[in-house]
Structure 1
């Protein structure tokens, strides 16, 4: 989702700040030396990870903006270009060479974590460049075509406080026009070589592009003009408004229109009928890579599929018990239909009422949260309805706040029709996306200034999503799930993540069709056809991402149970949670090593 463009500075400028002096210094240190040499090695690693972060921010300027690094707010490189990918490959290789000179035996525990995390990040990043995802750069779930409107909405991470801020985004608009033309060229290459999206995804993408190409004041890109900087006089306001509108109509809207026209007339007829990436020329190898990327494990598709089937069976057993306890007469599929459709579960008439209900959940759990976590984040928190332009294809999500506290973390809730919004899943959804899930984990990580920046602002799906799913299991300890239907909602969300292990592998290695995967999902959880379709199409768009949740949650739950047995009366849940979160997102193998060292200290 992070992009780069031809407006980026030449790569030699990135290398100029990547710590080459550190390489010479490290090479002069003898492995296994004394305390002074150890300190020198630690200092050199810290210099290396700091310069890596700085170079990475220039290569990934949208990440930089998200992280509050404002110096690249005008950049939007064409990250799908051959030249960019070559620069990125050289960047990764350069830092791999530096790490080879470092004696890990001289590092303290925190620096060893940094070393291990960076080593994996470089290897997984470099390996990914051999695949051809850049030939399919536009789809309905996550792409620059959807990210840019969030940045340009005036309510996202892109600042619009000064005239210079507006000029920064004008430059990003100009760069997006080049990105769009490269995307079309890449997709034409994909059409010629067999790298094309499934037709079902293209059909969902086309109306998104059409909406974003409309030249009317309702287009999200005009929103920043509704709140111009207050210190501008009338002449400056008029000039800025005219310049900004001209950029929208000159660069952005025509680019979206070109993409829309291309997808509609050229690409859709060539889209594939298959659902999984095994149909692509290197699809099998790519999926195995994506499993490594997202789960941070070496598990095979077959192992993950078996775990999924086992978890689905276990959770279905719990669902049967809840169904019986409610007195419902009928089988589990009938109970799914009852919970999905009965009027008693659809109690809202307005989006505001739904958001207020989520705020009530927050108030209810906080007394217990403060007992289960010793360290609470300082970053503010808010709940908002997902913007209309992306709500139809969006899931509930958390968007991080800024590290300096100027922008709160936001829990976004897509509400297409409040009258159809079910309350049964609200408690576990809040625990996952908001508190103590993503908001706690990401905020605590960003606020920890003792971490090097590349770890403060990193994301590892198996850890981050695994932790958030683990948080759903805390509901009874936090005083919720007292309503059996709310607890059934929690089981529904848990089985949803277990189902993902089955259908994702099924789609991408076993030849499952979109319709087969939708049916499996609807047979095993209370979701509507619309919800199941959106979910399955998400897995088609970003293969293996959905595996990270359950794989990560199982590891965290395993660690908690292990230390509960191992430490006995010495075990503190609050201390466990604080240790789990304090070092930020980590690959699961690095996390386990770190947590084992913590437990051994008792």
Structure 2
């Protein structure tokens, strides 16, 4: 079922009559009622999703965890987006500045996508999967070293309140998954098997010699081990009692109940099929997911064909590297060589791997000035992914706070340092860290000209498209001097091209998990374990994996267009500024903006 892409026109000038002559002028005066609407919209979204507020550094809602699965919450969300989409009609583009017109278009798209997402049952009846869902986010926060602050008595009290409400969500998740089994909304068995250990680990407690339960090693007890020095002994004792109680009598029983349900009834009911098309309204949901994640009106067939074309193109580049390093076998044999080459697995400790990423940063720093005029003020660090989620996690970036006091974090999963292959490390750092997500997100958050709602909004085609685009900047930044690291970049790009093929294959063409895994093994140098984790990731979140390559190709297309049109006037630093200054926007709006910039520069 095809959907028509939202048509968004961003009008930059008005034609008015002046002394019998038509002149082009721009609205420059701020539209106060419209900007109040943007403020109210942002405030409403933070209240709808207080977890997002916490990650943005807004601590007003740190004690709140709404039951996202309840009928009441779902109706509240629907009413919110319906109301604001209707309010936009009160404001004519002719009365708005160019920036305000962009905000209007973005807000309209945001509302439309949220309403479309809410029209399906997927978010409610699939509340838990192995890598995307809010239970994993809560585990991060529970570690005491993430976005939830633990510096004051109020902070510890806030977290207790949030945990009480989170427990309600856990009970609801159990009920919704049981409803899903009844209605045909159930995860594939392979995904369920990955979730079970996550909940079993949270169910485990030890007892002392007298049989008294000891929760001191539980993940959710972590904040108790990090009391600020300012706390009195009485305050410490109070929180020890309260945290022990909520773990013993609420959270651990809920975790145990879910673990038991997952490995018994839910696993028995698990789907043998891999794609979302096998659940009710699955085809329609996937068409929506494509539109939502790529911000285009491309069809699954078009994306599949594009993926096959990109795979062929990148394979030809890989053949050149294989020849350069003197490998005599086939490209598939070269993949196996790269997967197992001892020289590419030189580490024995996680610290050595983290140090390696910091060394990449140091190496490229002198070249950044040539490509970027603006650099973020928000600090940046590299950390190992937490153990409780490391086995199923991919490398990722967590944004810093809006005020810049909490750094952006590049998380690296290192289940086994001795088996860690460094072949893609340079491209991975460019993508997840600098100048990928850290530049893109931090510069957006620091941009005082953007309304607040656009500082935290996320469109995967733009955000992931930019990050993948930056992987191609490696040679310009003094990297990829080692042919294996360049091959790693090609491998990373191939990985995203393969996603176009396997995601559409799984969700629109009836591919099995095993077929998708084999296609990946045949066309990239990732390990089988890594590929399996990736394929299961696509199964858990249909369409998200399409956004990277679609966005990257659009940004590369716009750069080529600007360079061809402007010639000597083309400035790569200014092009990057133009792409980044608006923050996350749908690709149609980005293309419109860059085309207008090109005309202005001409």
Q: TM over 0.5, yes or no?
A: yes
Q: Secondary structure at the match of 1:100?
A: helix
The CA distance in 1 between the partners of 2:330 and 2:381, in whole Å, is 40
1:430–1:41 Cα change, 3 Å? closer
Q: Identify which of 148, 173, 178 aligns with 1:183.
A: 173
1:26 corresponds in structure 2 to: none
1:9 corresponds in structure 2 to: none
Q: Which 10-residue stretch deviates more, 97-106 or 393-402?
A: 97-106
1:136 matches 2:126:
yes
1:219 corresponds in structure 2 to: 218
Q: Identify which of 110, 113, 131 aligns with 1:124.
A: 113
Deviations 1:318-365 (A, max 9, x none): 001110111111100100000111212111111111111111000000
Deviations 1:261-306 (A, max 9, x none): 1111211101110000010110000000000110000000000001
1:154 corresponds in structure 2 to: 144
Q: Secondary structure at the match of 2:381?
A: strand
Deviations 1:150-208 (A, max 9, x none): 11211111111111111111111111111111111111111111111001000110000
What does 1:395-544 correspond to in 2, within 5 Å?
Answer: 395-544=394-543
Q: Secondary structure at the match of 2:585?
A: coil
1:173/1:248 contact within 8 Å kept: no
1:166/1:244 contact within 8 Å kept: no
2:491/2:524 contact within 8 Å kept: yes
- How far is 1:454 from its partner? 0.5
1:560/1:576 contact within 8 Å kept: yes
- How far is 1:32 from its partner? 9.5
1:99 corresponds in structure 2 to: 88
1:70 matches 2:59:
yes
Superposition TM-score, scaled by structure 1 size: 0.93
1:291 corresponds in structure 2 to: 290
1:89 matches 2:55:
no
1:395/1:414 contact within 8 Å kept: yes
Deviations 1:222-245 (A, max 9, x none): 111111122121112111222222
2:30/2:97 contact within 8 Å kept: no
- How far is 1:429 from its partner? 0.3
The CA distance in 2 between the partners of 1:250 and 1:560, in whole Å, is 58
1:173/1:251 contact within 8 Å kept: no
The CA distance in 2 between the partners of 1:421 and 1:264, in whole Å, is 31
2:461/2:586 contact within 8 Å kept: yes
The CA distance in 1 between the partners of 2:452 and 2:472, in whole Å, is 31
Would you say how many aligned residue pairs link Structure 1 and Structure 2? Answer: 571
1:569–1:40 Cα change, 3 Å? closer
Q: Identify which of 192, 200, 203 aligns with 2:193.
A: 203
Q: Secondary structure at the match of 2:303?
A: helix
1:45/1:102 contact within 8 Å kept: yes
2:9 corresponds in structure 1 to: none
1:75/1:171 contact within 8 Å kept: yes
2:211 corresponds in structure 1 to: none
The CA distance in 2 between the partners of 1:214 and 1:166, in whole Å, is 23
1:163/1:229 contact within 8 Å kept: no
1:32/1:105 contact within 8 Å kept: no
Q: Secondary structure at the match of 1:374?
A: coil
2:49 corresponds in structure 1 to: 60
The CA distance in 1 between the partners of 2:279 and 2:521, in whole Å, is 27
2:394/2:413 contact within 8 Å kept: yes
The CA distance in 2 between the partners of 1:435 and 1:128, in whole Å, is 32
1:50 matches 2:39:
yes
The CA distance in 1 between the partners of 2:321 and 2:265, in whole Å, is 51
1:554 corresponds in structure 2 to: 553
- How far is 1:40 from its partner? 8.0
1:391 corresponds in structure 2 to: 390
Q: Secondary structure at the match of 1:492?
A: helix
The CA distance in 2 between the partners of 1:38 and 1:103, in whole Å, is 12
Q: Secondary structure at the match of 2:411?
A: strand
2:62/2:148 contact within 8 Å kept: yes
1:245 matches 2:208:
no
1:192 corresponds in structure 2 to: 182
The CA distance in 2 between the partners of 1:503 and 1:82, in whole Å, is 34
2:27/2:98 contact within 8 Å kept: no
Structure 2 residue runs of 5 or longer lacking an equivalent are 1-14, 19-23, 206-214
2:12 corresponds in structure 1 to: none
1:164 corresponds in structure 2 to: 154
The CA distance in 1 between the partners of 2:324 and 2:514, in whole Å, is 33
The CA distance in 2 between the partners of 1:50 and 1:185, in whole Å, is 36
The CA distance in 2 between the partners of 1:113 and 1:427, in whole Å, is 35
1:329 corresponds in structure 2 to: 328
2:4 corresponds in structure 1 to: none
The CA distance in 1 between the partners of 2:128 and 2:456, in whole Å, is 25
The CA distance in 2 between the partners of 1:122 and 1:327, in whole Å, is 54
Structure 1 residue runs of 5 or longer lacking an equivalent are 1-30
The CA distance in 2 between the partners of 1:574 and 1:450, in whole Å, is 19
Superposition TM-score, scaled by structure 2 size: 0.93
